[in-house]
A and B are shown apart, each in its own frame.
Chain A
Amino acid sequence: MKLTLEKLRKTFPLDEGELVAIENIDLEVESGEFVCLLGPSGCGKTTVLRIIAGLDTPTAGSICLEGKSISGSGSDRGMVFQEFALFPWRTVRKNVEFGMELKRVPKEERHRISQKYIDLVGLDGFENAHPYELSGGMKQRVGIARALANEPEVLLMDEPFGALDAQTRNLMQKELLRIWQETKKTVIFVTHSVDEACFLADRIVIMSARPSTVSEIYEIRWPRPRDRASVEFANLRKQILAKLERMVRIEDDGTQR
């Protein structure tokens, strides 16, 4: 589904005055596109995802899905949370089946689908474990399986692979691309890793430091799977890293806003 963010603005009330988290963001995401959001810590990436998910309301501006303005949450937009947000009293399987339970999917089908996604994220054998028995990386994989099993049109992912080791991370990136190519979902993916963004994205959207706007957009047309060792990959990485570094320095000096 095509997603449009129009003149998005978000402020949070403070004791005195307000915090402008997002100054103004305009963005169009094509149906089936894979977009990575990159930006300094605290620039409002999570806030943008939460607004798209309908968990927060924008102070101004609007979100449109297929041209229709949306407000409130819905199962058409799934989210993978930076903090996992698993239900601690539910087992891995029960966490993954949560959305299907709400939709009253029959038990056997629920079981089949949840097994598919549990296998996919490599958690087979842990179906009956509770979240407290899992490591951070495993919890995050449950979160991913849970979002995917609900089959949303738009998948919002907030640093989903941040807690994974490098090896699992590369594996999950490939798996995510495979799922994305199979299902043609629209994906908005927040990451701190330039390498990850270059590997995954159709477009990389760089957000400026708070109060944030879209600072720059890189379009990547290379075919997948991409070769991290290629010269063009390395060049793009360097270019984006330099850009981010400049941004942070500007913020440190406080000379420019």
Chain B
Amino acid sequence: MDVKGSGKKKERASIFSQWPFNKFGNEEKWQQLFKTLVITIISLVAFLITWWGLSELADTDYLPDPETVFRSFIDTFQIRDPLTGRNMWDNIMASLTRVMWGFALAFATAVPLGLAMGFSKNADDFSKPVVEVFRPIPPIAWAPIMILALGVLLGPIVLVFIGVFFPLLSNVIFGVRSIDPILSDAARTLGAKRSHLFLKVILPSTIPYIMTGIRIGLGIGWMCIVAAEFIAATGGGVGQYIVFKAEVGRYDQVYAGLVVIAILGLLTTELSGYIERRVSKRMGML
């Protein structure tokens, strides 16, 4: 935050007067960070050793050791599959494209509906029964029928849509309901009409909640796409890759596929979590 002028300078001066204390706090923070890092590394190493030990003990093709999986992981990005002509990048792009389409559809519908349901009691009363009937159905339960009915192209996208839609919707509604009513009061005494309230109070204060919905929704979206690709097997995709490899008995590559899914899932959540925090901070809602 760049604040210029005399007032802020005074504030800064008071912070500097606490300088030794401040420095101490910083040091403590680095120490804490270092400690976390060390523990994380120990945890990961312990995990790899356990995995390796188990694979040695079990001595079965179903559980290859970490090194084999790591090699296959690297190879999948470089070597095109002789059958499909795709490498892992192609599969990732295929899955990612589906997730993005499904997500875009869900965003375009869940946000307006959520705002309306949070804002207007009539809209809520109208939509709630239907929403509540559909919400408890696990998105993956729709997979067989959706893919039969909509085909291998649209089916997986619609599954992602279902997966993202409900968490996003709940968060938007919750966001609208969490607005401190006194903010609407303040806006009204400044001359705000209902449409102003919606655009200038409700929409901005809901944005951090929308971001939370996006983060949760994207996580679920990933799970849905993999499941969908198990069933619908054309056009590539990470889920599809795993099914193919399992069928031909390349279990090392199956695990490599799992690692890819884990990394992509982690990246999506971390990235959207980062954006979420940035937006909340920028909007002054910590």
Q: Which of B6, B182, B201 contacts A124 (CB 8 A)?
A: B6
Q: Which of A61-69, A75-83, A173-181 contacts B (4 or more CB under 8 A)?
A: A75-83
B2 CB–A CB distance under 8 Å: yes
A130 CB–B CB distance under 8 Å: yes
B interface footprint on A221-238 (CB within 8 Å = 1, 0 otherwise) = 000000000000000000
A240 CB–B CB distance under 8 Å: no
Determine if B6 and A125 form an interchain contact, defined as CB atoms under 8 angstroms apart: yes
Q: Which residues of B contact A81 (CB under 8 A)?
A: 182, 185-186
CA distance A128 to B4 in the complex (A): 8
B71 CB–A CB distance under 8 Å: no
Determine if B185 and A131 form an interchain contact, defined as CB atoms under 8 angstroms apart: no
Chain A interface residue count, CB cutoff 8 Å, equals: 39
CA distance A88 to B207 in the complex (A): 12
- B-side binding surface: helix, strand, loop or mixed? helix
Q: Which residues of B contact A129 (CB under 8 A)?
A: 1, 3, 8
Residue of A nearest to B205 (CB): A89
B192 to chain A, nearest CB (A): 6
CA distance A132 to B205 in the complex (A): 15
Q: Which residues of B contact A156 (CB under 8 A)?
A: 189
Determine if B285 and A88 form an interchain contact, defined as CB atoms under 8 angstroms apart: yes
CA distance A41 to B33 in the complex (A): 48
Determine if A98 and B185 form an interchain contact, defined as CB atoms under 8 angstroms apart: no
Determine if A150 and B191 form an interchain contact, defined as CB atoms under 8 angstroms apart: yes
Q: Which residues of A contact B196 (CB under 8 A)?
A: 102
Residue of A nearest to B2 (CB): A128
Given A79-B185, A83-B182, 15 additional A-B pairs, CB 8 A: A73-B185, A74-B191, A78-B190, A79-B186, A85-B180, A87-B186, A99-B190, A99-B191, A102-B196, A124-B6, A124-B7, A125-B9, A127-B5, A130-B1, A150-B191
Nearest 6 A-B pairs (CB), nearest first? A125-B5, A75-B191, A125-B7, A130-B284, A99-B190, A89-B283
B interface, CB within 8 angstroms of A? 1-9, 180, 182-183, 185-192, 196, 200-201, 204-205, 207, 283-286
